[in-house]
Structure 1
Amino acid sequence: MKIRLINKMSKWQLSSVLFVIFLLLPISFLSLTTASVTIKRDIYDFSRGSYDLLLRPQDSRTPIEEKFGLVEENYLGNGDGGITIEQWQSVLSRKDIEVAAPVAAMGLYRAAQSTVSLLEREDTSIRYKINYSTSDGLNTYQIGDELISYIIPDNEHPLGYTTIVSPSIGPNMLRGDTPYFEYPSSYHQVVAVDPEQEGLLTGEELSVLDDTKFGLVDGFKGVPILSLQNTKHPLKAKIEIETLPIHDSELLKLKERYNIEYTDNGSWTFESILITDPEQYLQVINDMEKIKGETSKTVELDFSKLVSPFYDDVIYLDENYNFNIVEDEEEFIVERAGSLAVFNQASHFVAEPIDYNIEGERISIALKDRDRESGIPLYRNIREEINYVLKENSNEVGKGEGIQFLHSGYFKGMDNSEELAASPLGIYGIYKTYLAKDKDKIIFPTSLPGSFINTPAHGLISINWAEQLKGEAPIDAIRVRVAGIKGYDKRASEKIKQVAKELENEGFTVDIVAGASRKEMTIEVEGIGKVIQAWTSLGAADTIVESWDIVKIVLSTIFGLVSIVYLLFSFRQIKKIREEDERLLFSFGWDETQIRRLRWKEWVSLMGYPFITALVIFIVYNLINQKLFLVISLFAVFLFTVLLLGLVELIVRRNDTNTERIREIPGSVTWKSIWHYRQFIIFSNVQVIIMAFIANFLTLFLIREKARTIETTLGLYVHGDVDWFYTTILVILYTLICLTVIESLLSLWKKRSEEIFLFHHIGWGKKSLYMFYLREVFFWTIGAVIFGAGIAYIVHHSLFGRIQAEGTYLLFISSTVIFIVLCLSFFILSFVLRKPFIIHDREEGYNGTRGKELEQNL
């Protein structure tokens, strides 16, 4: 006769869960390993930028860099230098350094300030009104005075025109024979670089910067300069062109009104009023303003479509008011005229650093002032520095040394917006600043200096000019690429750190840029609101690896916790259930050896079938996909399970023969029932506590780690690359948790099946049974969930601190866990209730009378 101490249903039930554990744990270990390989590969391939180390003078880090580990993309919006040419050459001469590219911010220089030539008008009287404007992407600001010019045909004048212009118009501009106008100054960042090293760093051909050139004025040195191609030049002009009803008779009356006569020396009589009586000249302008135009046309010119920062070409408009540049024409139209400023480099401006206000995690920028004429907001102080001074009434230099920027071509800069690594070069930033509430609202600096945005370099000159224009220590930073490194891994990291330490000992402020990535920062700007800027987050790769290491530890711990607790409780429950049967065998004459042999035979059968089934599956999978790791992991899990079983046998070896004294428990029927079955409810309760703990802790933990990881573009990519892992591992984990909860609930209800059968036979219907047992489950589930969520909250706070809206997360997750447990209990209870009701349907003559009698007797 075959003796079985574990009934067939319980054995199948436990074997099924063991099979799931044997199957899922190796898969989860494989997922952890595969994800680790993927992350390391991504870090190696994508986290090294164009250079590795950023060298700056001592004490160069800003408060934001110190607190947040960030470097502004264009950190050279201003620069006072601090590194000498000799120090740079010493760094460059090291054998372990491949590239050492210096950069020196030279300041903000005026553009060439050329002129725009208009079409000549001969047939009618014309009024020109020209207004200039600039923009920061949000608002448009009018800059400079309105330029007004009247060009009236005049047969008495040798040129055929009489001209009346507003006092702000310069000499010879907007005249009748050759009308042209000059637009306002714009200011552009100039940076000095070493052409060879910068070329190695960026791939640009910059050798033209070393050419020797002569200035346009005798005694001046020509400085070759390259302009940033396709730069934003936010300067526009609106031209209103009106024809006026002023003919010979009207012009004659106008002259008589102001006692104007044409003189033999050819002087402009209306201009003589400006010189002799400025107030009367303003009256002339006011009178002319009252004349209504006959026809009107408005033309808007957008200089950003044509003008590069340091171009030096005269511009003219064709018949359709399109831009043309003299260099584009083989022969310039002789009827046109224009001028080009040649002394614009007499001075330059230095923009002082932004004063960032830091309050906790909040970063803000206060408004310093507004430009008096235009109202443009200014967020930094600007100071002017003199390069040279001309002698009075002369083009000779009286103080300093005369220089002129000579446009020698264009440079593109580095567009690494698609790269995952970030190497803040300080001068090529192309990342946009935009409103936090509207990403389509791009913000950029106006044509006047003072913006909170550090612009990229608009002009490049050779480092050979740096000492002359800036002083003995002109270099602001050196971008270093360490030699002998192809990617970013542990070996490369150690080598970079060693070089960084040695350079730091030489007196530099050294930041490790390898492994950095871009991070979008929210900054509150007074007068604008919250804006988003791209900064470089140092150590992004290390943060990703560190975060992943923590995730691996947490997930491995949770997997182990779920499996160990389930197996311990399951083995102990089975051991407790077998005790009475084993004592019965003792009374039949069986000895301890025979009972132990029977026990281990059943355990081998219980764990052997799930193990062999899982082993066959993994062997087949290994033959197809070469994943021997799954087979090895399965053996490890099986060995661990066997050891755990042996531990349970040792702990519960002593048979507890003491019978519990039956005592009356006060309280409701529900509470009495809970207390009576407390040994089995504890098993289910522990599973629910674990479920609540894991659901809450893991959610808070993963939210925190995801937020840490995806702060940078590299982290966002890596997270997306292993997103499959998170999905797989969470599905496996929650499947395992739910199965253990289902198994524990199933054991509980099966243990109480006789009680359920009795209640049914004394007249309880399905609804009453559901209400009674689900109410009981609800009571102990709430306690278990609150306990588990509390532990999760305490552990997470102790290890990682709080996260935003964690109270909402805890409430929602805990409610969801309670709902899931109740649903599982309902379905399992429905399964258990099938038996008594099926028996009831088969009982002949049963009408409930006997049940009512039993209920009354009870």
Structure 2
Amino acid sequence: MFRFIWGQLRGRAGRSVALLAGVLVATTGFVVLTGATTTSRLEVTGTVERNTRAAYDILVRPQGTRAPLEAERKLVRPNYLSGLYGGITPAQYEQVRAVAGVDVAAPIAMLGYSTTPIDMPVDLIGAVDRSLDRQVIRVDRTFLAERGLTHAPAKPIYVYVTKHRLLYPRLGDSYEPAAVRYTDGRAYDTQECGLVAREVLPDGRSAPVCDPYTAQLDTLFSLTERQTRRVETFRLLPDGRFERPTPGERPGTRTSSAESRLLLHLRLTVPFLLAAVDPDAEQQLVGLSGAVVDGRPLAVDDRVADNRYQGGLRSRTLPVLATSRPFLDGTLRAGYTRIVPDRSIAGVRPEDLAGTLRAAPATPAGGSTQDAVSAYRRQLATGLDGRTCCFGELQRILQPGETGYDERPDGTLRARTATIDPSVYADPKLATWFARPWLTEDVSFRPLTTVKLPPSQQDARQWKAVGVFDPQQLAGFSDLGRVPLETYEPPRAEGADARSRAALGGQPLEPSGNPAGYLSAPPLLLTNLASVQTLLQGTGPQGTAPISAIRVRVADVDGYSERSAERVRLIAEQINRVTGLDVDITLGSSPAPQTVELPAGAFGRPELRLTENWSALGVASTITKAVDRKSVALFGLVLVVCMLFLGNAVSAAVRDRRPELAVLACLGWPARRIGALILGEVALLGLAAGLLAVGLAFPLGFALGINVDWRRALLAVPVALLLALVAGLAPALRAARAHPAAALRQPVATARWVRRPRALPGLALVNLVRTPGRTLLGAGVLAIGVAALTLVTAAAYAFRGAIVGSLLGDTVSLSVRGADTMAAVATVLLGAAAVADVLYLNIRDRAPELATLRAVGWTDAALGRLIGYEGIALGLLGALTGAALGLGGAAWLVGDLPRPLLLVAAAVALAGVLVTSLAALVPAALLRRLPTARLLAEE
């Protein structure tokens, strides 16, 4: 039998080589492509494990603080801590620390926003005309934020420069506003203008240079820095220096100093978010002490300094670490105008000053622009013991809540505006040192409340920096695994469309300094828990449960793996069981871009469409499960396509030998022997193809950059043998059961139930119906290829944006896209080859019919169009079926069927039709080789 099989293979060398090539291509393709998918999976799991190590693995929050939108989308909004104030007691914190397996438990207690001034000195010496006896420099301020889109003019500041002598108040042990003694020894009434300098006029009299700021002190709580007015007075000395008033030793007194520069100290009031931490736990979590760049680290035993003075005044100073990076997008622009009044402005009431100067000659005298970050850093450079650094008030502490959203049909979130109770800002009971930030007049997105501290008329509450820390020197982790819950990460939002990107100048939107604004800055002031508990004593629920969240790092966990995930899950369940607090597993999380619409602001900022990174929980688990399902799907699809491709080739070979097999049956060969003959030929070819595939797999894998394992390469032999036997089983059974008279039948049946066609497309459909098995086989192979490509595209879509929607998913999609696409494209090409094979067999079986059509006048072009229509019909049947199967697989893989995937499936189906149309050109070109005369003679 073997010798007979070998003789058959040698006698039909061309057909044997063609079949051998088919088995070889299928087997080698299977080995290499499965190697590619395996390599891809290893790369994915490695990428996930390397990029999912964050500062902590579990986030513990007060019960019921998880927003509905978070639960719906399995996301955590960025800087959510800025809207969470207390809720966890110290006892619950100790319970978390006591759970077995907890390596670090770092609490954080958000207190709220404290305002601090940023000094922005401007030198006006270039605006001064030294020849004038007196002059006024008007400084017109414009505040800008949000990349300059938000801009608002402010009340002007006037700098009065005179060559006349100035007098300054000197207070004694008692203070009588109606009789304050000045440096000339005389007493003056200061009730109208306050403790201001007095100018000596040419006639010897003196008059006060009224400063409207002194009149605004009692109503400062109701004003923003944009609404404050000031008049600064300087004397131009004969030596060219400038004499200016400076604070005296006693409160409210003034003395003078002479400087070579004319410096006006403008001020930008900014809010800093204050939080309390456990310094030791924070050091273990992110290395807080190592990030201190000036001063000293915060200590666990630091306490509030409580000082008492005569008259009942009490000063309470909170020790803090201040940030070296304020993360503020703010700018102050100043324009200078020199005004020459016709007389002294001494004695002019503040409300009349602008009218008095309106008619005076005015000359532009330059300007300057300063940004908040640079000014803050210059302030830090003066040192912690300097006059301007680093302190702030705690008289009024603002606590912003959460931003609300409306969800659009396309998934876009639109931020809701919030209405602020004016008493939050304008409460006369809350004595304050500074006017509130100007941006508090802008549109608000967060509700605001104040910390209910005890009455402060006799208390001066403030914070003072003991050190400065740099957030960028804290322990860093992979950008792909970073979550917005990284406590000190500044939020940024990129423009999501061309209009928004153009408005932002291609830069991200950053926190503006509005406590109720959309983007909230991270904690920039840090104190210890002991101090904040002292400060909050007697304030109600927050005083007894001051901790806002606990960040937990689990021992023996270093990146995502199935073992680590299970360990973290068990500890998270234990924390929830012991404390009753809400627990989020942050291990394996990644930033997830969300599209947010931001309504227009009150000071010129247009409506913006932004992309903001939220935190997607469980991304690593989703990705690894998806890539496992994708690998299994691709293994199966590649195997099935190879098997069908071989089955079609063996069937073609059996059909080609129908007369020969019929003769063998007439000579008495039993059916089992005829079947064994077919299977023997196929098995021998499969064995040879497997051995050749072992040798080809390594160089081909090396050329494609795929690691082909030797064990998988050796599997090529049994795989090739098995594929060949399975593919040849059905044709062998069909050959064994064939009747000897079958050789006399037409190979192509007549479709009697089909209407007579009137055009070439109809005739093409009829021809396909005449060989239904062959047609369904070719379309089926193509359908599987299209389904595979659709499935791969869906997997990339899931990784990139629709379901997982994370930066980690983006990176994973890059690592899987090449190998998966190669596997899917290979299946489509095998499908196209099967379609071409079907068309070739149709041409060969219908050769007499085609010769007859040519004889009656059909041109080769018409016959070629007929074959082309058959190819297009086959392509449509296979591509549409494959697209439908691919969408079903995508829904299983992704867990949803987003609308964009429908467009993807349509595009892949169209590509499949185009490929099969091109494949149809090959058999159509064979029409010219038909021996018309011989075929007609044989017919």
Structure 1 stretches of 5 or more lacking a match? 256-268, 275-280, 314-323, 330-337, 844-849
Q: Which residue of 2 aligns with 1:459?
A: 525
Alpha-carbon contact 1:226-1:459 (below 8 Å) kept: yes
Q: Which residue of 2 aligns with 1:521?
A: 594
Q: What is the CA distance between 1:187 and its match in structure 2?
A: 1.5
Quickly say closer, same or farther: Cα 1:677–1:356, change in 2 above 3 A: closer
More divergent stretch after superposition (536-545 vs 654-663):
654-663
Quickly say closer, same or farther: Cα 1:785–1:626, change in 2 above 3 A: closer
More divergent stretch after superposition (462-471 vs 580-589):
580-589
Q: Which residue of 2 aligns with 1:610?
A: 689
Q: Which residue of 2 aligns with 1:153?
A: 163
More divergent stretch after superposition (144-153 vs 459-468):
144-153
**In the aligned structure 1, how far is the partner of 2:74 from the partner of 2:708?**
43
Q: What is the CA distance between 1:213 and its match in structure 2?
A: 6.9
Q: Which residue of 1 aligns with 2:239?
A: none
Q: Which residue of 2 aligns with 1:24?
A: 29
Matched, 1:231 2:326: yes
Q: What is the CA distance between 1:834 and its match in structure 2?
A: 2.8
Q: What is the CA distance between 1:805 and its match in structure 2?
A: 4.1
Alpha-carbon contact 1:174-1:181 (below 8 Å) kept: no
Q: Which residue of 2 aligns with 1:277?
A: none
**In the aligned structure 2, how far is the partner of 1:738 from the partner of 1:524?**
46
Q: Deviations over 1:639-692 (max 9, x none)?
A: 422541574245764335686798794513866786577564642443234414
Q: Which residue of 2 aligns with 1:266?
A: none
Quickly say closer, same or farther: Cα 1:183–1:499, change in 2 above 3 A: same
Alpha-carbon contact 1:345-1:387 (below 8 Å) kept: no
Q: Which residue of 2 aligns with 1:739?
A: 833
Q: Which residue of 1 aligns with 2:844?
A: 750
Q: Which residue of 2 aligns with 1:260?
A: none
**In the aligned structure 2, how far is the partner of 1:674 from the partner of 1:448?**
70
Picking from 799, 802, 817, the partner of 2:897 is 802
Matched to 2:792, the amino acid is L
More divergent stretch after superposition (606-615 vs 586-595):
586-595
Quickly say closer, same or farther: Cα 1:495–1:790, change in 2 above 3 A: closer
Quickly say closer, same or farther: Cα 1:245–1:524, change in 2 above 3 A: closer
3-state SS in 2 of match to 1:377: coil
Picking from 808, 829, 833, the partner of 2:928 is 833
Alpha-carbon contact 1:48-1:516 (below 8 Å) kept: no
More divergent stretch after superposition (621-630 vs 751-760):
621-630
Q: What is the CA distance between 1:544 and its match in structure 2?
A: 0.9
3-state SS in 1 of match to 2:63: coil
Quickly say closer, same or farther: Cα 1:791–1:543, change in 2 above 3 A: closer
Q: TM-score, normalised by structure 2?
A: 0.75
Picking from 382, 391, 395, the partner of 1:346 is 395
Q: Deviations over 1:358-415 (max 9, x none)?
A: 3552321122259998651111222233534344xxxx43xxxx54211122222257
Alpha-carbon contact 2:641-2:785 (below 8 Å) kept: no
3-state SS in 2 of match to 1:460: strand
Matched, 1:199 2:204: no
Matched, 1:723 2:817: yes
**In the aligned structure 2, how far is the partner of 1:142 from the partner of 1:214?**
39
3-state SS in 2 of match to 1:534: strand
**In the aligned structure 1, how far is the partner of 2:556 from the partner of 2:855?**
84
Q: Which residue of 2 aligns with 1:632?
A: 714
Q: What is the CA distance between 1:209 and its match in structure 2?
A: 1.9
Matched to 2:688, the amino acid is Y
Matched to 1:836, the amino acid is P
**In the aligned structure 1, how far is the partner of 2:307 from the partner of 2:118?**
15
Q: Which residue of 2 aligns with 1:563?
A: 642
More divergent stretch after superposition (565-574 vs 498-507):
565-574
**In the aligned structure 2, how far is the partner of 1:676 from the partner of 1:155?**
113
Q: Which residue of 2 aligns with 1:175?
A: 233
Picking from 48, 54, 58, the partner of 1:49 is 54
Alpha-carbon contact 1:229-1:412 (below 8 Å) kept: yes
More divergent stretch after superposition (486-495 vs 718-727):
718-727
Q: Which residue of 2 aligns with 1:362?
A: 412
Q: Which residue of 1 aligns with 2:466?
A: 408
Q: What is the CA distance between 1:30 and its match in structure 2?
A: 1.2
Q: Deviations over 1:811-844 (max 9, x none)?
A: 444343333223222222213533538xx8xx9x
Picking from 116, 119, 137, the partner of 2:147 is 137
Alpha-carbon contact 2:589-2:617 (below 8 Å) kept: yes
Structure 2 stretches of 5 or more lacking a match? 168-183, 185-197, 201-206, 218-229, 235-242, 246-263, 423-437, 537-542, 601-606
Quickly say closer, same or farther: Cα 1:306–1:763, change in 2 above 3 A: same
Matched to 1:383, the amino acid is T
Q: Which residue of 1 aligns with 2:557?
A: 485
Q: Deviations over 1:690-722 (max 9, x none)?
A: 414532x34443333222212212122222233
Alpha-carbon contact 2:883-2:909 (below 8 Å) kept: yes
Q: Which residue of 1 aligns with 2:78?
A: 73
**In the aligned structure 2, how far is the partner of 1:663 from the partner of 1:728?**
40
Q: What is the CA distance between 1:80 and its match in structure 2?
A: 2.4
Q: What is the CA distance between 1:798 and its match in structure 2?
A: 7.6
Q: Which residue of 1 aligns with 2:794?
A: 704
Q: Which residue of 2 aligns with 1:655?
A: 738
Q: Which residue of 2 aligns with 1:688?
A: 779
Quickly say closer, same or farther: Cα 1:427–1:488, change in 2 above 3 A: closer
Picking from 443, 447, 450, the partner of 2:513 is 447
**In the aligned structure 2, how far is the partner of 1:379 from the partner of 1:242?**
37
3-state SS in 2 of match to 1:185: strand
Q: Which residue of 1 aligns with 2:189?
A: none
Q: Which residue of 2 aligns with 1:817?
A: 912
Q: What is the CA distance between 1:512 and its match in structure 2?
A: 0.6
Matched to 2:636, the amino acid is T
Quickly say closer, same or farther: Cα 1:674–1:541, change in 2 above 3 A: closer
Quickly say closer, same or farther: Cα 1:155–1:35, change in 2 above 3 A: closer
Q: Which residue of 1 aligns with 2:628?
A: 549
**In the aligned structure 1, how far is the partner of 2:390 from the partner of 2:678?**
102
Q: Which residue of 2 aligns with 1:432?
A: 492
Residue correspondence of structure 1 range 315-326 to structure 2 within 5 A? 325=382
Q: TM-score, normalised by structure 1?
A: 0.82
Matched to 1:476, the amino acid is S
Q: What is the CA distance between 1:198 and its match in structure 2?
A: 0.8
Residue correspondence of structure 1 range 198-277 to structure 2 within 5 A? 198-205=282-289, 208-210=297-299, 211=302, 214=305, 218=309, 219-246=314-341, 250-251=342-343, 270=347, 274=349
Quickly say closer, same or farther: Cα 1:790–1:43, change in 2 above 3 A: closer
**In the aligned structure 2, how far is the partner of 1:793 from the partner of 1:462?**
55
Matched to 1:302, the amino acid is D
**In the aligned structure 1, how far is the partner of 2:284 from the partner of 2:77?**
23
Q: Which residue of 1 aligns with 2:479?
A: 419
Q: What is the CA distance between 1:326 and its match in structure 2?
A: 7.7
Residue correspondence of structure 1 range 373-392 to structure 2 within 5 A? 375-391=441-457
Quickly say closer, same or farther: Cα 1:286–1:386, change in 2 above 3 A: farther
Matched, 1:13 2:18: yes
- Percentage identity across paired residues of the two chains: 18
Quickly say closer, same or farther: Cα 1:492–1:807, change in 2 above 3 A: closer
Q: What is the CA distance between 1:155 and its match in structure 2?
A: 5.1
3-state SS in 1 of match to 2:376: coil
**In the aligned structure 2, how far is the partner of 1:467 from the partner of 1:529?**
40
Q: Deviations over 1:527-573 (max 9, x none)?
A: 22321111111111011112212211221232133123333444445
Matched, 1:298 2:357: no
**In the aligned structure 2, how far is the partner of 1:296 from the partner of 1:498?**
70
More divergent stretch after superposition (804-813 vs 297-306):
804-813
**In the aligned structure 1, how far is the partner of 2:62 from the partner of 2:119?**
38
Q: CA RMSD in A?
A: 3.9
**In the aligned structure 1, how far is the partner of 2:702 from the partner of 2:901?**
46
**In the aligned structure 2, how far is the partner of 1:342 from the partner of 1:595?**
98
Quickly say closer, same or farther: Cα 1:656–1:812, change in 2 above 3 A: farther
Q: What is the CA distance between 1:99 and its match in structure 2?
A: 0.9
More divergent stretch after superposition (621-630 vs 197-206):
621-630
